[in-house]
Amino acid sequence: MTRRTALSALTAAAVVVTLPITPGILRVPVVLAFVLVAPGLAWTSRLPLHDLVEEATAAVALSLALTAVVATALLVVGLGGLFPAVLLLGAITIAGALSAPPDGVG
């Protein structure tokens, strides 16, 4: 499975579980995994990282930073809530995944 496919699947799962019909016990681990990893991992292929630990650290740091920026922007415009935040983070993730070089290149 390529990185692009995995990120797309995790993004889709996170959007689906934020629907009100999904039980909270399922929502928490999926959204937590998505928010902590996916947005940053989509953009780390552009960084000069040399090993897996560096890439994982950068992915989590970028994800948390992007989550803070998205949450702040949503609060400023008055659209607080999980669903708008996951949608916006999902758009950022998909944009990063689609603009990345194909796996194995670069």
Residue 87 has pLDDT above 70, yes or no: yes
| pTM reported for the whole predicted model | 0.88
> By three-state DSSP, how is residue 20 classified?
coil
In 1-106, where does DSSP find H-type helix? 3-17, 24-43, 52-77, 82-99
pLDDT per residue as tens digits for the range 58-78: 999 999 999 999 999 999 999
> By three-state DSSP, how is residue 67 classified?
helix
Q: Mean of the per-residue pLDDT values for the chain?
A: 91
pLDDT per residue as tens digits for the range 23-51: 888 899 999 999 999 999 999 988 898 89
Token pair 């499975």 in the structure block, residue: 1
pLDDT of amino acid 76: 96
> How large is the angle between the packed helices 52-77 and 24-43, nearest 10 degrees?
110
